[in-house]
Amino acid sequence: MLELKHISYSVSEAGAEQAILKDVSVTIPDGKLIVFTGPNGGGKTTLAKIIMGLVTPTGGQILYNGQDVTGLSITERARLGISYGFQQPPRFKGITVRDLLTIASGDDKLTKDRCCRYLTQVGLCANDYLDREVDVSLSGGEVKRIEIASLLARGSELMIFDEPEAGIDLWSFARLTETFEAIHRTHKATMIIISHQERIISLADEIIVVGGGELQYRGTADEILPKIMADTTGSCPVMTREEAAK
Amino acid sequence: MITEVDQALLEKIADLVGKPVGALNIRKDGGCEARQSTEHIKIDPRTDGKEGIDIRILDGTKGEKCYIPVVISKSDYAEMVYNDFYVGENCDVDIVAGCGIHNSGCDEARHDGVHTFHIGKNSRVRYAEKHYGEGDGTGTNIMNPQTVVYLDEGASIQMETVQIRGIDSTKRVTKIVCGKGAEALITERLLTHGKQLAESDMEIVLDGEDAKGRVISRSVAQDESRQVFRPIVVGNDKCFGHVQCDSIIMGSAKIESVPAITANSTEAQLIHEAAIGKIAGDQLLKLQTLGLTEEEAEDRILKGFLA
């Protein structure tokens, strides 16, 4: 179980404090698929990075399976069973797809069959990709799918995916949602997925809308989607005023 | 006599374990430790008074290997060696060179060598040279290899040059002249640390029609070490040339990379790319999210980069 207690994060900008996250508290039970959604700049990615240890909160506490992990490094959290798929994964000259999956799995003798399984789950063929370097020769969508495959190879109990759909074509996206569904069915892993995709939102046990640095709503897809739709149909307040003045 | 230390060096520089099948010449501290010719590859001492050997590979020799490693186990020692290779036509061979120094003294150990290749029509040569130094003394290890290659029509060379740690100072000079339809590929891997200095001058001259040349250089400079690269491709006819230099800079190291391309024909197509930068922070973070420590992540990135 993951518990975030009174998490806050602020940055100094031109001498003024700007709050990115404001006293966020949330508990995520084991085996659930939770989607964080909300407007850009609302604090979703920062919250996810704080869980992984990529960002240090300015206040609050993080408990994972009852253990206070707030002061632990990224590596220590990874070894406790937390993993994170980057929104924009880095590229590596000289590290192949096979190398990356091997590092992720922690098994120096990771077989081709297992690599093949992870890559197939994200819509890639091992024969085409295993020996390719994860460098600029791969497209953004390919790197993104390899990033997700690295999390599958890691097999953590808590997987965080930051906009896994970004840059991925429709066909691969369909395959990806099947993979998320399959992991979810086993209830062996907890998944936190940052997403704006209705298809992914509809898979979730629970949706948490993050906006303005706070948790705005929390509920099932049926409860939350109408609220999101209502928010997104709002027009620009300035233009509305100008229209009214005419 | 080949000691255990020598054997470990030979394994490092030439992957030699025991006595290999194929032509062989092991030079140690200026003497000849072992020499064997084969039916198709003849190794003989030079006859012009200079130190070194002549290697003659007969026309049509295919699938054979030739090992010519050098080991230096002394301090206060310097040598200048000239090895000439005459590769016949229609050959397909591997040549493994390399030099290992084990310097336990407080004086300099130095190996300077000139390898000159004459590669006949339509022959393919893969040439690997690894340079490595070690020893618990305070003496410096110095290596200055020069490689000169003349490729006849349709011939090719894949040259792999590697220096990972242990060499305090190196000035390496490589020149390859490509005839009609000939092809040269130089892959360089270099890691310096401490106060080491490495300079690498490379020149590929694309003289003949449809000649191709490519330089792929990757280096890592750590601590206070310095590196200078000057890869040059000259196109004198319809040809293709590509220079690609990537360096990772760490600590308070300094790297200078000066690639140059010169076209003396309107049909020459030449490209150069050079990049120097530190290890990207997001690369380290990514590998840490996969359970590696920051140090392990750095090592893994460097290992991959120099692979």
pLDDT at position B80 = 92
pLDDT at position B145 = 92
User: How are beta strands B226-235 and A2-13 bridged, if at all?
Assistant: unpaired
DSSP letter (8 states) at residue A170: H
Q: Do A74 and B288 touch (CB under 8 A)?
A: yes
CA-CA distance, A131 to A97, in Å (whole number)? 6
Answer whether B263's CB lies under 8 Å from B238's CB. Answer: no
Question: Is the predicted pLDDT of residue B263 greater than 80, yes or no?
Answer: yes
SS3 content of chain A, % helix, strand, coil (to 5): 40, 25, 35
pLDDT band at A215 (very low <50, low <70, confident <90, very high): very high
pLDDT band at A234 (very low <50, low <70, confident <90, very high): low
Query: What residues contact A67, with CB distance under 8 A and at least 6 apart?
Result: A80
CA-CA distance, B302 to B279, in Å (whole number)? 9
Q: Do B291 and A79 touch (CB under 8 A)?
A: yes
> What is the phi-psi region of residue B137: left when phi exceeds 0, alpha when psi lies from -120 to 50, beta otherwise?
beta
**pLDDT tens digit sequence for B171-213:** 999 999 999 999 999 999 999 999 999 999 999 999 999 999 9
Q: Please identify which residue in the block is written with the tokens 């609050």.
A: A60
Best mutation target, A103, A144, A161, to test chain B (most B CBs within 10 A): A103
Q: Is A130 on the interface with B (CB under 8 A)?
A: no
Q: Is A73 on the interface with B (CB under 8 A)?
A: yes
**pLDDT tens digit sequence for B21-57:** 789 998 888 888 889 999 999 999 999 989 999 999 9
Is B296 within the bounds of a domain?
no
Mean pLDDT of all residues in B59-79: 90
Mean pLDDT of all residues in A42-68: 96
**A13 burial type by CB count under 10 A (0-12 exposed, 13-18 middle, 19+ buried):** exposed
Best mutation target, A73, A75, A110, A151, to test chain B (most B CBs within 10 A): A75
Lowest mean pLDDT among A28-32, A140-144, A222-226, B284-288: A222-226
Q: In chain B, what residues touch A75 (CB-CB under 8 Å)? A: 288, 291-294
**pLDDT tens digit sequence for A27-43:** 999 999 999 999 888 99
Q: How many domains does chain B have?
A: 1
The parent domain of residue A117 ranges over: 2-245
**pLDDT tens digit sequence for A169-195:** 888 888 889 989 998 988 889 999 999
Q: Is A27 on the interface with B (CB under 8 A)?
A: no
pTM: 0.86
Q: Is B287 on the interface with A (CB under 8 A)?
A: yes
Question: Is the predicted pLDDT of residue B66 greater than 70, yes or no?
Answer: yes
Q: How many domains does chain A have?
A: 1
Is B93 within the bounds of a domain?
yes
pLDDT at position A70 = 96
Answer whether B87's CB lies under 8 Å from B94's CB. Answer: no
Question: Is the predicted pLDDT of residue B287 greater than 70, yes or no?
Answer: yes
pLDDT at position B115 = 95
**In degrees rounded to 5, what are phi and psi of residue B78?**
-140, 145
Q: Do B304 and A84 touch (CB under 8 A)?
A: no
Mean pLDDT of all residues in B142-146: 91
B3-32 residues touching A, CB cutoff 8 A: none
- Distance from the Cα of A78 to chain B's closest Cα (Å) equals 5
Question: Is the predicted pLDDT of residue A46 greater than 70, yes or no?
Answer: yes
pLDDT at position B108 = 83
Question: Is the predicted pLDDT of residue A54 greater than 90, yes or no?
Answer: yes
Mean pLDDT of all residues in B273-290: 95
Is B287 within the bounds of a domain?
no
Mean pLDDT of all residues in B59-71: 93
Is B297 within the bounds of a domain?
no
* Mean of all residue pLDDT scores within chain B: 92
pLDDT at position A235 = 61
Answer whether B13's CB lies under 8 Å from B131's CB. Answer: yes
Is B253 within the bounds of a domain?
yes
CA-CA distance, B273 to B258, in Å (whole number)? 10
Whether ipTM tops 0.85, in short, is yes
The encoded tokens of residue B243 equal 């220079």
The encoded tokens of residue B199 equal 């300079």
User: Which of A75, A89, A99 faces B304 most closely, judged by CB atoms?
Assistant: A99
Nearest C-alpha in A relative to B300: A95
Nearest C-alpha in B relative to A103: B290
Q: Do B290 and A86 touch (CB under 8 A)?
A: no
pLDDT band at A236 (very low <50, low <70, confident <90, very high): low
A85: domain CATH number is 3.40.50.300
Is B57 within the bounds of a domain?
yes
The parent domain of residue B225 ranges over: 4-280
* Mean of all residue pLDDT scores within chain A: 91
Is B33 within the bounds of a domain?
yes
Is B291 within the bounds of a domain?
no
Answer whether A158's CB lies under 8 Å from A189's CB. Answer: yes
Question: Is the predicted pLDDT of residue B139 greater than 70, yes or no?
Answer: yes
> Helix crossing, A140-154 with A170-186: angle to 10°?
10
Lowest mean pLDDT among A90-99, A216-225, B115-124: A216-225
Q: Is A50 on the interface with B (CB under 8 A)?
A: no
Mean pLDDT of all residues in A150-156: 94
Q: Is B273 on the interface with A (CB under 8 A)?
A: no
Q: Where are the alpha helices (DSSP H) in B220-292?
A: 281-289
Mean pLDDT of all residues in A198-206: 91
Nearest to B105 by CA among B77, B142, B131: B77
Q: Please identify which residue in the block is written with the tokens 């300015």.
A: A58
Report the share of chain A in percent with pLDDT over 70.
95
pLDDT at position A240 = 67
Q: In chain B, what residues touch A93 (CB-CB under 8 Å)? A: 218, 246, 304-305
Mean pLDDT of all residues in A159-174: 88
Q: In chain B, what residues touch A90 (CB-CB under 8 Å)? A: 280, 282-283, 285-286
User: Which of B280, B293, B307 faces A94 most closely, judged by CB atoms?
Assistant: B307
pLDDT at position A58 = 95
CA-CA distance, B106 to B103, in Å (whole number)? 8
Q: Please identify which residue in the block is written with the tokens 């760490």.
A: B250
